[in-house]
Amino acid sequence: MDLAKIRSDFPVFSYEIYGKPFIYLDSACMALKPKQVIEVMNEYYYEHPACGGRSVHKLGTKVTIRCDSARDRIRDFLSAENSNEIIFTRNTTEGINLVARCFDFQKNDVVLTTDREHNSNLAPWHLLKDLKGIKHEVLPSNEDNTFNLEAFEERMGKDVKMVSMVHTSNLEGYTIPAKEIIKIAHDHGALVMLDASQSTAHKKVNVTDLDVDFFCFSIHKMCGPTGMGILYGKYEQLKKLSPFIVGGDTVAETSYETTKYLDPPHRFEAGLQNYSGIMGSGAAIQYVGNIGMDNIAKHETKLNRIMTSKLDGIPQVHILGPKEPEKRAGIVSFTVDEMDSHDIAMILDEMANIMIRSGMHCVHSWFQSRGLNGSARASAYFYNTEEEAKIFGDTLQEIVEKVG
């Protein structure tokens, strides 16, 4: 990859903070935006700021064509069979909630998750316990936070209706063996939904090969606009879901007494859509696809090795998750003896304009079950350099030596 050329695509890198360049290591939270995405979104507002899917005039038709093209591009990116399996949402959270609320769960149906789910894949099941009387069970991980496939297979039974799990964890970057999990779940008659926020942006995903039933991710984690997400679902499964939010654009026809709903995906895309966001999503998918998902994954692993080797040399630092950098993608989540994670993040920011995440990363349940008040998390992406990874490690060592 030509990093100099790639970084020139991101306007934010041309700015300095207090007269100094910055190092952005918070892409697991929010990826930066290239000009190719920004320009496509601005083009909508400048050149064709009309309503798609309703008006048949030239501006409206252009919007419809552009949005349909974005949906097709996302289908190709995921290797889905049908563009009608692609639903535009606001984010991963909305996609998971859509499935949770629209699937025909019955009392005592079991939903099985891992023990390190983001709140987006935990709170909806707690709500359904109250609303429908489902049962939510948590599968414990191995000591190194890897997935316990044997325990999973032992637990599976006919009472498990949905296996809903984080594909790649935002906690420490570990990716579960999704294909094996999906096969086991299907063998026992259960459906599988993956929270793919941290996987889709960083590695090649083929939903058809995985045979996954539902697959949710957020575009803002892959250089796209905020407030945009994707729910992929097998078409036969989407047709079984009841509508989520109903009204404009979800109906084929109505009378004073009845409503006939459209087929997926439109029955799940109520009201006026975020047209610029949809177009920007298509542009973001095209941008990362052109770089190459295998190239992105390899580069992230290289950066993780550098950061891990630096942190391994600091006795007070403890990295969460598997020891091998290859198993943690671009994420290095860590604690420091006698230091609060927020203090670490603020000192890095003040000392060297190094930006990381701190806290519980919306995985409160995992941290609280282990008596931890959070971690510091450095997360790299394809636009980060090896020099930045080294500076991060050296700066952290300096902080630990001075403060410790």
User: Per-residue pLDDT for the chain (404 aa), expressed as one digit of tens each?
Assistant: 899 999 999 999 998 887 889 999 999 999 999 999 999 999 999 999 999 988 899 999 999 999 999 999 999 999 999 999 999 999 999 999 999 999 999 999 999 999 999 999 999 999 999 999 999 999 999 998 999 999 999 999 999 999 999 999 999 999 999 999 999 999 999 999 999 999 999 999 999 999 999 999 999 999 999 999 999 999 999 999 999 999 999 999 999 999 999 999 999 999 999 999 999 999 999 999 999 999 999 999 999 999 999 999 999 999 999 999 999 999 999 999 999 999 999 999 999 999 999 999 999 999 999 999 999 999 999 999 999 999 999 999 999 998 86
Residue with tokens 């552009």: 66
Is 102 noted as a catalytic residue in this protein? no
Q: Nearest Cα to 398, choosing from 323, 325, 317, 341?
A: 317
CA–CA separation, 202 and 197 (whole Å): 9
Phi, psi at residue 264, to the nearest 5°?
Answer: -60, 150
- Among 29, 51, 102, 362, the active-site one is 362
CB atoms within 10 A of CB 338: 9
| Sheet of 110-114, strands arranged across | 86-89, 229-233, 214-218, 191-195, 160-166, 110-114, 135-139
Domain(s) labelled CATH 3.90.1150.10 in the chain stretch across: 3-30+292-403
Domain(s) labelled CATH 3.40.640.10 in the chain stretch across: 37-290
Whole-model pTM over 0.85: yes
Q: Which residues pair with 24 in a beta bridge?
A: 355
Tell me the CATH number for domain 3-30+292-403.
3.90.1150.10
Class of the CATH domain delimited by 37-290: alpha beta
